[in-house]
Amino acid sequence: MTAAESLDRRQLLKAATGLLTGFVVAGSPLAAIAQSRGWAIDLGALSSAEGATLAAMARTLFPHDKLDDVAYAQVIQAVDGEAQKDENTLHLLQVGLQEMPQDFAGLPEAQRVAALKKIESTTFFQTMRLKTVQYLYASPVAYAYFGYEGEAFSKGGYLLRGFNDLHWLPDVPREDSGPLPISG
């Protein structure tokens, strides 16, 4: 780490208003790629309580039971980053949060769903839904969880890495398919 990065990080920590923390579940897809078991995410615009409510909202919107909390916390980190840069976003989030039950994160799922259904037509809800989709499924944690392999150019494509390895259906006759461009 360079001195400049270290300084930036210290400044960030000093400026942080909230914190989300957790532990990676042993044996989860994340455990294979995580650098350590514990994680902490600094928030610059949102408080810890606000962050925790939004993280619970993200999980209620897209409940993947075996997906680590860190994946949802990273969504809130990204949303917090937007709120730091744009006061309108921060305002939208804070006003929206006021319409949420205070103990939202602690409620059983059915009650969390009911609370979200009540605000489904609001800009706050729609914004959080879209941002959660955008960030949740684009993260390396999600790639690992869903088994998505991503770009393949750096590995020579999928030509020799399984693009045609489906064997639970018949192969396609040659006239409707085509030759492999190289012999594998």
Partner 1 sequence: MPGAAHRISHQDENAVVIIGSGAGGGTLAHELTRRGIKVVLLEAGARQSTETFSQIPGEAFLQLTWLDHRTQSGDWGVGRDFPAMPVWHCKTVGGTTVHWTASAPRLQAWEMRAKSTYGGVANCSLIDWPIALEELEPFYEMAENRMGVTRRNGMPGLPASNNFKVMYAGAQALGYKKVHTGHMAINSRAHDGRGFCIQQGFCVQGCKMAAKWSTLYTEIPRAEATGNLDLRVQSTAARIEHNKNGRVNAVVYRDLQGIEQRQKARIVCVAGNAIETARLLLLSDSPRFPRGLANSSDQVGRNYCHQITGFVWGIFEKPVYSWRGATLAGVIEDEAIHNSARGFAGGYRLELCALDLPTFPLVGLPSGWGRDFAAIMENYRNISGMFINGEDLPRAENRITLNPAVKDSYGLAVPNVHVDEHPNDRAMRQHARQQMAKLFEAAGAKQTVMGPTPPATHNLGTARMSVRPEDGVSNKHGQTHDIANLFVSDGSAISTPGSANPTLTIVALALRQAEFIAQEMKASRI
159 is an interface residue for partner 1 by CB under 8 A: yes
Minimum distance between the CB of residue 62 and partner 1, rounded to whole angstroms? Answer: 5
161 is an interface residue for partner 1 by CB under 8 A: yes
CA–CA distances in Å: residue 166 to residues 159, 161, 162: 13, 12, 8
Q: Backbone phi, then psi, for 139, in 5-degree steps? A: -90, 155
Q: Do residues 20 and 76 touch, judged by C-beta distance below 8 A?
A: yes
| Smaller CB separation from partner 1, 91 or 161 | 161
Closest C-alpha among 9, 127, 35 to residue 75? 127
Minimum distance between the CB of residue 6 and partner 1, rounded to whole angstroms? Answer: 27
Minimum distance between the CB of residue 176 and partner 1, rounded to whole angstroms? Answer: 4
DSSP 105-145: GGS-HHHHHHHHHHTTTSHHHHHHHHHHHHHHTTSHHHHHH
CA–CA distances in Å: residue 111 to residues 39, 91, 114, 155, 173: 28, 25, 5, 46, 53
| Smaller CB separation from partner 1, 95 or 152 | 152
184 is an interface residue for partner 1 by CB under 8 A: no
| Smaller CB separation from partner 1, 63 or 106 | 63
Applying CB under 8 A, which of residues 1, 2, 170, 183 lies at the interface with partner 1? 170
Rounded Cα–Cα distance for residues 145 and 7 (Å): 34
Contact positions with partner 1 (CB under 8 A) in 45-84: 60-64
- Which residue's entry shows tokens 């690992």? 144
Minimum distance between the CB of residue 121 and partner 1, rounded to whole angstroms? Answer: 12
| Smaller CB separation from partner 1, 39 or 145 | 145
| Smaller CB separation from partner 1, 16 or 92 | 92
Contact residues for partner 1 (CB under 8 A)? 60-64, 113, 116, 129, 133-134, 137-138, 142-143, 146-154, 156-159, 161-166, 168-172, 175-182
